[in-house]
Structure 1
Amino acid sequence: MAEPKTRDLFIGGEWTRAETSDRDTIRNPATGEILATVAIASENDVGRALRTAQEAFPAWSRQVATDRADYLYRLIELIKRDTEKLARIITSENGKPLKEARIEVNFAIQLIRFAAENVRRLEGNIIPGSRPGEKILIDKIPHGVVAGISAWNFPLALTARKLGPALAAGNTFVIKPHELTPLATLALAELTVEADFPKGIFNVVTGGGATVGNALVTNPITKLITMTGSTPAGRKIMAAASEGLKEVRLELGGKAPFIVMEDADLDAAVDAAVAARFMNCGQVCTANERTYVHTAVYDKFLERLRTRIKALRTGDPLDEKTDMGPKISAAEMEKVDGMVQNAVKQGAKLEAGGKRLTGGAYDKGNFYAPTLLTEVTAEMDIAQNEVFGPVLSLIRVRDFDDALTQANRSRYGLSAYLFTQSLKNIMRMTRELNFGEVYVNREGGEAAQGFHHGYGDSGIGGEDGQYGLEAYVTTKTIYLNA
C-alpha cells in the first residue's frame, strides 16, 4: 500500500498550510485504503482565500476576454494529457468504474471549452434613450469573487462546470470540493499552476460544509454562490446567503421519472433505463429514480430488464470489465439498504439484489447489489424520496395520462426520460411534464452546450451552455450623454 499523501490548501497559486492541524482522511470506497489526508480550512483560512481572490479580481477582470480564454485552453490541453491520471484519481476517491471516470474527465474538458469558446458572446445591448442624443447601455460585467461548493459524485466535472464560466466571465473563484472527494479538484489546481494561471484567480479550500462552506457563503467578499449538492444543504446555503442578499444558484436533488410507452423501442428503453439508473452506482442527480412502463409492454420490459440487471458486473472499479463500483461510504450504503427494506415492508417485490455484497474483496468496500423492485406504488416512500443508489423501481401505468400524473407527483423537477414514437405524446410532454430537462428516446447525460436546471426541490438557477454562462455576469445600466 502506498504512503498516503498529505494535501494542503491552494491559495494564491500556492500550497499553503491550514491554520489548524485537523485533517480529513480520504479513503477509497472500494478498498478502504487511505488515499490522503487533507487540510481542513478554518474560517480565517477561508477569509484569506477570499481576500486573495478579491485582490486578484481587478487585473483579471480587465483582461481581454479572449486572453482569459487562452488560460482555459492551456488548462484543457493539460487535462487531456493527464486524462488517465485524473480518471484514476476520480475512481480511487469516488469509486465509479474507470471507464466512467474517463467520461467524466472528457465532460470536464467540454465544460471548460464551452466557456472559453463563448466568452465573447456575453453581449450587452444599446437602447435608444429618452433624451436627444442619449443612448442607454446595458453592459455585462463580472460579479467579483465567486464561491463554489460541489458534491462528491462528480468530483472533477462539478469543479470544471463552475470554474470555466466563472473565470471566463472575469470573476475570480474559490471552491470547496466535497470533503469525501477533494483529490481531483486538488489535482486540477496543480494543473492551473502549470498552465501559468495568474495567482489568486483560482483557490481551493477543503473541509466540511458546516464550517468551510458556511464561511464561504457568509463572508461579505463572496458575491455569487454556485452549489451542487443535496436539497437540505441547498436550503441551508440559501438561508445563510439571504443575510447578505447574495445571488445563489443551486443544483440539488432529483427524482427523475423514466416513462416507457407501448410504442417504445423496448431494447433501447431497457438499455437506457439500466444506464440511467446504475451509472456511478446510481449516485447521479439525473438518475432514473422511477420507471413507469405502459401495461401493454410491462411484462416484456420486465423480462428484459431483469436479465440486464442480473448481468451487471459489480466489483473493482479499476477493472475494465466492471459495470458498477461501490457506494461512496458505508453510511450511504446503509441508507439505501434501509430504503429498500422499507419498500419491501410497504409491499414492493424484490426481484433482484436488495443487499450488501459480501465475501472476498467485497468486505473491504461499500458494495451494494444492483437492485430491482416491482409492484412499487406512488404512495411508497421509495417512489417519493431520492434514493441516490443502485435501485430501480418499476411502476405499471395504464396510459400516457397516468404516466404524466404520476411523474409530476413529486417535489423534485430536475430530469425526466420519455421513450415513445408518438409525436402527440412528445408534444404533450413539452407542455405538461414539469421537469427542467427531458431526455427523449435516449439515456441521460447532459451536454456542455445545453442548460442543466430544475424546478421545485431540485434547485434554482442552472448550469452549462450560454444560459449558464450568463449567470456568471451581472448587468450595469448606463445612461450615456455627450
Structure 2
Amino acid sequence: MGFDASLPVTAQMLIGGQWVAGRPGAVIEVENPADESVIGTIPDGTAEDAARAVEAARRAQATWAARPAIERGRAVRRLAALVSERSEELAGLITREQGKPIGQARGEVGAVIGFFEQAASHAHRIEGDIVTSDNPDEEIQIRRHPHGVVVGLTAWNYPAALAARKIGPALVAGNTFVLLAHEITPFSGLFIAALAEEAGIPAGVINVVTGRGPVVGQALVEHPDTGLITMTGSNRAGREIFRAAAEGMKVLRLELGGKAPFIVMEDADIDRAVAAAVTARYTNCGQICTCNERMYLHRDIADQFLEKFVAASRALRIGDPMGDPDMGPKVSGPEVDKIKSIVDAAVAQGAEVLLEGGPLTEGEYAKGHWYAPTVLELKDNASPVIAQEVFGPVVPAVRVADFDTALHLANDTDYGLSAYVFTQDHRRLMQTPYRLNFGEIYVNRANGEQFQAFHNGWNHSGLGGEDGKYGFDGYLRKQTLYMNWG
C-alpha cells in the first residue's frame, strides 16, 4: 500500500495510480490538536499537481464509465469492506489529526462504510424515461450519464466521512474523482485512497492531491476537464469557488455553513430537548454544520430548560481524545481565537454569561486547542454570536413569547441548512415545514442525518445536496434523445 498510517506520517499524493512526493522540500506539517505535536507531513502541492490529477482522472473516466454499474458498485462495496477491516486504524488517524474523541471517530468510520454501501446500492437505480413524442414513428428518451471528472473539496471536521460521501456516489455513477485532502486533516482521505487501490479500483479513478486551497483547489476548480465540483466548507470558501467556477460554467454542489435554530416550546418534553440540545451543540466540539447554534426557548420553560442545560454542559468531560471523553479540542489555534472574539463581542454588547467556559490553557490543557462549553443569554438576534456561525462549544439562548416569534427569529438569518423544533402541538408540527426556511429540519430529536435521506441547505447554506436517491442523481447529468425510426 502506498500510504503508511504509522506515525509520524510522511504522505505522498496519489495521481494516476502513482504515489508522488511533490516538490522537494515543499511540505506542510500536520498537527495533533490535542497536544500540538507534528504527526506528519504532506506535500505542499502546486497547480501543476492539480492539473496532472485531473488529466489522470480524465484518461481513466471513459473506461470506468464503460463498466456495468453493478461492477462499479461492487468495487465500492469492496472498499467499504476494507474500511471495516481497518476501522480502528482509520479511527485513530482521524482522532489524531482532527481531535474528536475516539468513540466519535469510530462513529465517523461507520459513516464512511455507510456512505459507500449506500452509494453501491444505487448501481441498479440509474434510470431514465421514455416520453411520448408528438411526431409519428418517434420516441423521446431521457438518459443519465456521468459528468466525467468530479473534484471533491472537503472540510476538516469530518475528513473521512465527507470524502466517502462524495467519492462513493461519484464512482458508482461512472465518474472519476480528484480529492483535495484538507491540509489540516489530510491523512484520512489518503488512507481511503490507498484502500481503494487494494479494492482493485483502477489507476486514475481516484486521485488525491494535497496542498492549499487557494493554489491547488483553485487549479482543480478552473481546470477545463473538471465537470462537477462538490464541496463542503464555509460560506466564504463556497463564494470563492462559485466565482472561480463561473468562467468555465462548472456544475456546483456546495454544502456551506449553518446557523441552526433550536426551538423549544412550552409543551415540549424538556429532558428530551435538553439531551438533544447538548448532543447537537457539543458533539465534535461543536464543529458540525448542523449543530445547535442558537436556542429559542418559550418563556414559560426557559428557566427550567437553561438550568438543566447549563448543568449538563458543565458536567461534560473534556480531555485527551484517545481516552474517549465527551469533548476533545478544537481543531486549531485560529479556531479558538475566532470563537473567543465572537464571545467577547457578544458580552461587550450585553450578553449574560450563564456558563463561563472559554479557552483552557493550564495544566493538562497547556498544550492543545481547548475551549470549554459556554452558554450565553441574549434579548434578541442583535449580536454576532447569533449572526455568525460559531462552529464551537458556545451557544446563545433567547426567550420567546410564542411559536410565531420563535419562527421569526429562527428565519432571521442568511443561512438555511438545519433547524430543530421541540413541541407536542400537532398544529405547530404541521406548520413547521411550511414556515421554517431550512433544507433539513429535526423535530423532537437531535441531529444526525441518515444515508437514505437528503442533506441539503437553502439560501446561503449551499446548492444541491448529498445522500439518498436525490443526492446520487446529482452525480449524473441528463441527455435527451429524439429517436425517430420513420
Pairing of 1:226-305 with structure 2 (within 5 A): 226-305=230-309
Pair 1:401 & 2:420 matched: no
Contact 1:19 1:44 in 2 (8 A): no
Cα deviation code 1:210-249 (max 9, x no counterpart) = 0010000000010100000000110010111010011011
Partners in 2 of 1:237 and 1:449 — Cα distance?
28
Indicate the residue corresponding to 1:200 in structure 2.
204
SS of residue paired to 2:392:
coil
**Relative to structure 2, which stretch is displaced further, 66-75 or 353-362?**
353-362
Letter aligned with residue 163 of structure 2: T
Partners in 1 of 2:450 and 2:16 — Cα distance?
32
Partners in 2 of 1:454 and 1:407 — Cα distance?
15
Aligned length: 480
Per-residue deviation at 1:376?
4.8
Cα deviation code 1:392-443 (max 9, x no counterpart) = 1111111100100000000000000011111110111110000000000110
Indicate the residue corresponding to 1:474 in structure 2.
477
Contact 1:340 1:354 in 2 (8 A): no
Match of 2:66 among 62, 66, 74: 62
Partners in 2 of 1:14 and 1:74 — Cα distance?
21
Per-residue deviation at 1:375?
2.9
Match of 2:166 among 162, 179, 188: 162
Pair 1:152 & 2:150 matched: no
Match of 1:439 among 439, 442, 463: 442
User: What 5-or-longer segments of structure 2 have no aligned partner?
Assistant: 1-5
**Relative to structure 2, which stretch is displaced further, 400-409 or 354-363?**
354-363
Partners in 1 of 2:223 and 2:47 — Cα distance?
9
Partners in 2 of 1:476 and 1:230 — Cα distance?
32
Partners in 2 of 1:336 and 1:218 — Cα distance?
33
Per-residue deviation at 1:13?
2.3
Letter aligned with residue 409 of structure 1: D
Partners in 1 of 2:82 and 2:379 — Cα distance?
47
Indicate the residue corresponding to 2:178 in structure 1.
174
Partners in 1 of 2:413 and 2:154 — Cα distance?
24
Pair 1:41 & 2:37 matched: no
Per-residue deviation at 1:481?
1.9
Per-residue deviation at 1:118?
1.4
Letter aligned with residue 185 of structure 2: T
Indicate the residue corresponding to 1:312 in structure 2.
316
Q: TM-score, normalised by structure 1?
A: 0.98
SS of residue paired to 1:146:
strand
Indicate the residue corresponding to 2:431 in structure 1.
428
Match of 1:341 among 344, 354, 358: 344
Contact 1:291 1:394 in 2 (8 A): yes
Partners in 1 of 2:257 and 2:57 — Cα distance?
30
Letter aligned with residue 285 of structure 2: C
User: What 5-or-longer segments of structure 1 have no aligned partner?
Assistant: none
Pair 1:324 & 2:327 matched: yes
Letter aligned with residue 29 of structure 2: T
Contact 1:20 1:41 in 2 (8 A): no
SS of residue paired to 2:196:
helix
Indicate the residue corresponding to 2:3 in structure 1.
none
Contact 1:65 1:170 in 2 (8 A): yes
Partners in 1 of 2:7 and 2:165 — Cα distance?
31
Indicate the residue corresponding to 2:78 in structure 1.
74
Pair 1:374 & 2:386 matched: no
Per-residue deviation at 1:167?
0.2
Contact 2:23 2:43 in 1 (8 A): no
Partners in 1 of 2:181 and 2:418 — Cα distance?
24
Per-residue deviation at 1:196?
1.2
Indicate the residue corresponding to 2:147 in structure 1.
143
Match of 1:360 among 354, 359, 363: 363
Match of 1:225 among 224, 229, 232: 229
Match of 1:89 among 83, 86, 93: 93
Letter aligned with residue 480 of structure 2: T
Partners in 1 of 2:449 and 2:241 — Cα distance?
25
**Alpha-carbon distance change, 276 to 376 in structure 1, aligned in 2, over 3 angstroms:** farther
Cα deviation code 1:302-329 (max 9, x no counterpart) = 1111110110011111113x10010110
Per-residue deviation at 1:477?
0.9
Partners in 1 of 2:7 and 2:409 — Cα distance?
51
Cα deviation code 1:29-49 (max 9, x no counterpart) = 001111111012211111111
Contact 1:252 1:459 in 2 (8 A): yes
Contact 1:145 1:224 in 2 (8 A): yes
Partners in 1 of 2:441 and 2:248 — Cα distance?
34
Contact 1:341 1:354 in 2 (8 A): no
Per-residue deviation at 1:20?
5.1
Partners in 1 of 2:18 and 2:432 — Cα distance?
50
Per-residue deviation at 1:3?
5.7
**Relative to structure 2, which stretch is displaced further, 187-196 or 374-383?**
374-383
**Relative to structure 2, which stretch is displaced further, 279-288 or 373-382?**
373-382
Letter aligned with residue 460 of structure 2: D
**Relative to structure 2, which stretch is displaced further, 9-18 or 405-414?**
9-18
CA RMSD of aligned residues (A): 1.0
Partners in 1 of 2:345 and 2:46 — Cα distance?
40
Cα deviation code 1:20-74 (max 9, x no counterpart) = 5311100000011111110122111111111110000111001100000000010
SS of residue paired to 1:205:
strand
Per-residue deviation at 1:132?
1.4
Pair 1:109 & 2:113 matched: yes
SS of residue paired to 2:419:
strand
Contact 1:26 1:181 in 2 (8 A): yes
Per-residue deviation at 1:108?
1.4
Contact 1:414 1:454 in 2 (8 A): yes
SS of residue paired to 1:196:
coil
Partners in 1 of 2:171 and 2:242 — Cα distance?
23
SS of residue paired to 2:370:
coil
Cα deviation code 1:86-105 (max 9, x no counterpart) = 11111100001111111111
Match of 1:26 among 24, 30, 36: 30
Partners in 2 of 1:396 and 1:3 — Cα distance?
49
Shift >3 Å, 4+ stretches? none
Partners in 2 of 1:376 and 1:116 — Cα distance?
49
Cα deviation code 1:265-291 (max 9, x no counterpart) = 100100000110011111110000011
Indicate the residue corresponding to 1:449 in structure 2.
452
SS of residue paired to 1:225:
strand
